Chains A and B, each alone.
Chain A
Amino acid sequence: MRLARAARRKGPGVSEESAPRAGGEVAVAEAPAEDERRPVLKRKDNRAWWLVLPVVVSVAFTAVIPLMTVVNFSVQDVFGPNDRVFVGLEWFRSVARDPEVRAALVRTLLFSAQVLLLEIPLGVALAVCMPRRGVQVSVALVLVALPLLIPWNVVGTIWQIFARGDIGLGGWTINNVLGVNFNYTLDSTDAWITVLVMDVWHWTPLVALLAYAGLRSIPEPYFQAAQIDGASAWSTFRHIQLPRLRGVLTIAILLRFMDSFMIYTEPFVVTGGGPGNATSFLSILLSKIAVGQFDLGPAGAFSLLYFLIVQILCYVFFTVLTRSGR
């Protein structure tokens, strides 16, 4: 009704242009000023929904139909289009009980948890420390955003060399200056730490930028009031800044969780999943089955189970995200 009232203020002929809405809703719009007593039934124009068609077609072409094909592959042993055997749920059974897959799932969840525990506090701390005004703001923003601009496989290559004990600056320093024996190609803990630190280096800036945007949106009077009350820097952070960051931090956690849960390129370039299985996350194991061994049936079943987990986590985060705004 607010729309209709606004339309009345502007005069006749405006209310018909209101935004399209789901379904063919019939809206009771109040008539323009000269004919105010008689309410008129108006059918909303829904033709704008046709504009969604290109998206529907392209998503069907790039996502839905390929996914259907994956489902078809997951219940068959396919040797060729005319040479295939229906095996029912056999691939699902073997994948769901495969100790290697289960280990990779645990590894991936552990990795995601560590990524969140490191990147979220670090990103917030970075955002709090960034300058608030002046020319330093642009400098800080560019410096912080720099790792985000580097392609993933380049990040992998950088760290693959950087962490090496013989020619890499980082690895050499740890080995020869700190005197710690560090070799990510042989030691599984070192490989894990390398991949983790690389991810923190690459993606903490994203959290920092999101948190910075959240901090900038807090009105100045809040800080003035805190100052008048004599609040310490910590309690200002704890009771003003952190609660106001809730929305952006939920987005940051969602993005970082999903991305680290599906991480592929960087560990593939740096460690290739090794040494042994130390850094073979779900996506690396999946591509080994699908591309390396060309076992399309098990790979299809694996992808669908992986997809199910991602779906659930996405939905949980989405629900939390949309509810936290209320």
Chain B
Amino acid sequence: MLEWMVWTVPTALVFAGLALLLAVMAVWGRISPPVARRGFLRIETDRGDRLYIGLISAAVVLAGWIAITDLSMWLALGCALLVAVVIGIWG
């Protein structure tokens, strides 16, 4: 049935991870509602906003990396996750 979607294991893992992330955020929001505050981004964000900004920034790091250098993409993934975590905590 899903043959036309030409799934691969890595993309399936990525989407499963995203779905899990959303589910965790929903449950977390239920347990302790998010609080908006200001960090180094200088705009008022709650943790969902920071997650979104962090994911988009991580994607920018990956895209920029692949456009510019031939260094390992695992290194890029490390940098991207670091960026996402930094934005998530102090953003």
Residues on A lying within 8 angstroms of B by beta carbon are 23-24, 65, 68-69, 71-73, 75-76, 78, 81, 84, 86, 89, 92-93, 96-97, 305, 308, 311-312, 315, 319, 323
Contacts and interface: CB of A to CB of B under 8 A. Distances in A.
A111 B77 CA distance: 33
B5 A65 contact: yes
A92 B76 CA distance: 14
Contacts of A68: 5, 11, 15
Contact of B8 (A24, A75, A81, A319): A75
A96 B8 CA distance: 22
B35 interface: no
A131 B3 CA distance: 60
B4 A81 contact: yes
A-B pairs, top 5 by smallest CB distance, nearest first, are A96-B67, A72-B6, A69-B5, A81-B3, A72-B11
Nearest to A320: B43
Contacts of B7: 72
Contacts of B14: 71
Nearest to B7: A72
A310 to B, nearest CB: 11
B67 A97 contact: yes
Interface in B1-46: 3-8, 10-11, 14-15, 29-30, 33, 43
B30 A24 contact: yes
Interface residues of B, number: 23
Please classify the interface of chain A as helix (H, G, I), strand (E, B), loop, or mixed, using the class held by over half of its residues: helix
Contacts of A93: 66
Interface string B67-87: 100000100000000000000
B6 A78 contact: yes
A12 to B, nearest CB: 29
A69 B6 contact: yes
Contact of A308 (B10, B29, B43, B63): B63
Given A68-B11, A92-B66, 6 more contacts: A23-B30, A72-B5, A84-B6, A86-B10, A308-B56, A308-B60
A73 B66 contact: no
A75 B9 CA distance: 11
A308 B52 CA distance: 12
A99 to B, nearest CB: 12
B56 A69 contact: no
Nearest to A319: B43
A312 B43 contact: no
Contacts of B15: 68, 71
A23 B33 contact: yes
B66 A312 contact: no
Contacts of A311: 56
B19 to A, nearest CB: 11
Contacts of A92: 63, 66
Contact of B6 (A24, A76, A308, A323): A76
B56 A76 contact: no
A323 B38 CA distance: 13
A100 to B, nearest CB: 14
B60 to A, nearest CB: 7
B67 A73 contact: no
Contacts of A319: 43
